[in-house]
Amino acid sequence: MAPASAVYQRTWLVELVRQELDRARQRLRPSGGVPRQGGNAPSAGEVAQAVASELESLTRVAPTPVINATGVIIHTNLGRAPLSRAATQAAVQAAQGYTNLELDLDNGRRGSRQAHLQALLRQLTGAEAALVVNNNAAAVLLGLCALAAGKEVIVSRGEAVEIGGGFRIPDVLSQSGATLVDVGTTNRTYVRDYERAITANTGAFLKAHASNFRVEGFTAAVESKELVELGKQRGIPVLHDVGSGCLLPTEKYGLAHEPTPQEGITAGVGLVFFSGDKLLGGPQAGIVVGQRELVQRLERHPLARAVRIDKLSLASLTATLLHYLKGEAETEIPIWRMISTPADQVRRRARNWSRRLGGNTTVAQCQSAIGGGSLPGETLPSWALVIPTPTRRGDGPEAVLEQLRRCHPPVVARIEADRVLLDPRTVLPEEDAPLLRAVGAVLEGHNDTAGRSS
């Protein structure tokens, strides 16, 4: 391996050394006139080692690929939905060379980066028009800015929610220049509540799907169709953030119903907003479908350029949507392959892992979560590999998780009832070999520790 000085700029390496020496001085510097305890100046070798560690950390390509063995299918901390092979290849092709991103090949003039994607979305959802931006938060903000700035937006009190990462409906309304008018109560809202709140300055009705929590019991909510009827009578558009972008019927897989964009369009909603990287199974994107006149107002708004989708996401989203058009979402889109996999098939895979690993590993029933702000509380029956947890030297379940995360590639598992579980449902087929190598190395380390302790 070439020395660092032959690979990286010398001035940068010198700066790293200076920073490490400064940290050493800080550790040794007296506090309140009294020298700090426990400190000798670091040797040259220790400084070099510290600089090497810092260099390795800074030059590591990020984000780092990991193996998701948690059983959480749409894991926000792990990047949400993994892309299909076709979507990945489409992004690579778009990245490696030039594309006709904004060139109409038929006439040689400037074209729209949205054109092909818009046609697919119209076909899949039945909408008159569509627009795609960089994420769903941006899509909702753009919609409110374009349609309701300076006006009032009526929202059910039970839907003035925080969806995640600090994305709060009241705050978004404030940023857009619209004024929030919340109606009803946390658990029960009726169409008459919306009607009573209408004024001459009402700009829109907004519905927001509670995508990461569930209210049960004594509840009532206004269906989109009811709100659309009221909106037609009073000339007020209905905007609906359905969240996950689910295009398939979730009931087919034993899950609760998840609102779909198609349902919103059929109900006559003016604009439907949803994410690209949740149950749609594509890249991060914010998708708007709905009435042509309303979508055009979003397209003309200055904010549209600031939040437009990039060419890599555009390419992979197009490839993802084509899977639905071809009727192959269950087999080609990873999250739908995971959702549709029967529990018996997951069990066979877990048992195969256990046979290959040995080491007192076992297989146990568990539940896989949908996750990622989709189908809150919904799980699928599953099976997991259980790793024995050493009891000596404080090596409990948390220590095992840390050891797995330090593998190459890192393996992310979960703890349940003080056991370390690895759920095959969320492990891609091509990841079996590296996962088994990682788990085998951790188990071997446990055996070595046990041997040295006996």
Give pLDDT, residue 243: 86
Region 381-393 average pLDDT: 85
Q: Is the peptide bond before 63 cis (omega within 30 degrees of 0)?
A: yes
CA distance 132 to 232: 26
Query: How high does pLDDT run on average in the chain?
Result: 89
What pLDDT band is residue 102 in, cutting at 50, 70 and 90?
Answer: very high
What pLDDT band is residue 450 in, cutting at 50, 70 and 90?
Answer: very low
pLDDT tens sequence across 168-200 = 778 888 888 899 999 998 889 999 999 999 999
φ/ψ of 6, rounded to 5, equals -90, -10
Structure-block tokens of residue 342: 């029967």
pLDDT at 451 over 50: no
SS3 164: strand
Using alpha carbons only, what angle is made at residue 334 by residues 328 and 335, rounded to the nearest 5 degrees?
A: 100
The 10 Å Cβ neighbour count of residue 168 is: 14
Domain range 83-332, CATH class: alpha beta
pLDDT tens sequence across 238-259 = 999 998 899 999 999 999 999 9
Domain ranges for the chain, please list them. Answer: 10-30+41-59, 67-76+338-453, 83-332
pLDDT at 329 over 90: yes
pLDDT at 345 over 70: yes
Write down the CATH number for the domain with range 67-76+338-453. 3.90.1150.180
Structure-block tokens of residue 418: 């003080």
What pLDDT band is residue 29 in, cutting at 50, 70 and 90?
Answer: confident
